[in-house]
Structure formats: structure tokens, C-alpha cells
Amino acid sequence: MQIISEAKLPTKFGKFRLIAFKENGTEHLGLVRGDVKGKKNVPLRIHSQCLTGDTLGSLRCDCRDQLETAMEYLGKKRFGILIYLKQEGRGIGLGNKVKAYRLQDEGYDTAEANKMLGFKVDERDYSAAAKILGALGIKSVNILTNNPDKIAQLEKNGIVVGKRTPIIIEPSCYSRFYLRTKKKKLGHLL
């Protein structure tokens, strides 16, 4: 994992350091609050890119709300990190995500749509997050997530997960079915 550059990033949630990472041609970001080097039980949120939710404000998912909730949570801590991974649409890419949306418009759930497009329900890989944590010298984390796969993959990659804090977002009428599917078919702890 290569560090490309870093800069200060003041946000409405607090002051962070923005660090750009690159591995195998893919760029990821770390938003670091305070001094995390060598720390244990660092508050952590791993967030997968969601252009439609994070940037465009889509109500089909709870991604933007989760991102903002995590940033607000970390902004109140002395130290912590948000890792922003470039793996749009649970790892299927932006174009395929739009195709999956089209299938969802026809009545399929998000898991069925991904399978119909020839993908696993969730294609994400969190090994890059583990490498980022290693590059930052983080010993162990307290993760803000509903996704047990994140925890399993971090631990598989040598990161100690001390505890999990849920990140619960009130569903909208548009995201309710999506969140039910995440709980039922992806095992999310909602």
C-alpha cells in the first residue's frame, strides 16, 4: 500500500488529515482524526464508495447517512479513522450498479440483481483496509459497522477488532426493502 499524499481536511464534522493511498492502480482514502500511530482500539469506519448515495443523495440506500454519522462520531473523538474504499456497488462498479438498479426497478432485490448480472451478492474485499491500517501503524480497532464480513476480513488480515459499534440509520420508504435484504441475505446486523 503506497501513500500518495496527505493534506489537512477541515469538515463540518471536525478536522481530519486526508491521506490518499494507492494499490494496484486503485486509489483509496483515509480520513484520520488525531494521532493514530501505534494506538490500540482506534475508532474505525470502513466505508465503500457509493457515488449515488454519498454524492448524489440517493434514498435507495443508507450510505450517505452512514458516512455522515461515522464522520460526526469520529469528529467527537480524540483520534480515529474513516477508510473510504473505491469499491462502488459492493464491488461491481458504477455501470453495473446502475444495471442492478434497473433490475431492482423491475422488482428484484439487491442480492438477486447482483447475481443476475453474474456477480456474488457482495464482491467487496477489505484487505486494502487492513493494509491501510498497517501503513498507519494501527494495532487494533473498534469498528463502526453492521457488516460482520468487514470484521471477519480484517481479522483474517491480521487486524485485531476489539469491539463493534452498530451504525443504525432510520430507513426511508425507498431504503426499507434494501435494508431488509441486507439483513436477511447479507447477514448485516441491523
26-65 pLDDT, tens digit each: 999 999 999 999 999 999 999 999 999 999 998 888 889 9
Q: Which amino acid is located at 166 in the chain?
A: P
Q: Write the CA distances from 53 to 3, 17, 36, 38, 66, integer angstroms.
A: 27, 23, 28, 33, 10
**pTM of the complete model:** 0.89
pLDDT computed for residue 105 by the predictor: 92
Report DSSP state, residue 39.
-
- Supply the residues annotated as catalytic: 122, 124
pLDDT computed for residue 121 by the predictor: 87
pLDDT computed for residue 176 by the predictor: 63
pLDDT computed for residue 1 by the predictor: 82
Q: Write the CA distances from 37 to 87, 112, 138, integer angstroms.
A: 26, 41, 6
Query: 35: how many CB neighbours lie within 10 A of its CB?
Result: 11
pLDDT computed for residue 182 by the predictor: 65
Residues, the chain, total? 190
Grid coordinates belonging to 68 = 455522515
Between 88 and 177, where is the model more confident?
Answer: 88
Cross-strand pairs, 20 = 5, 29
Report DSSP state, residue 41.
S
120-161 pLDDT, tens digit each: 988 999 999 999 999 999 989 999 998 888 999 999 999 999
Q: Which domains does the chain have, with CATH numbers?
A: 2-87+124-186 (3.40.50.10990)
In order, the DSSP letters of 47-79 are EE--IIIIIT--SSSSHHHHHHHHHHHHHTSSS
Residue 185: which pLDDT band, with cuts at 50, 70 and 90? low
Report DSSP state, residue 36.
-
* H/E element, 185: helix 176-186
Query: 169: how many CB neighbours lie within 10 A of its CB?
Result: 17
In order, the DSSP letters of 92-158 are T-HHHHHHHHHHHHTT--HHHHHHHTT--S-----HHHHHHHHHTT--EEEEE-S-HHHHHHHHHTT
Grid coordinates belonging to 84 = 473510504
Residue 90: which pLDDT band, with cuts at 50, 70 and 90? confident
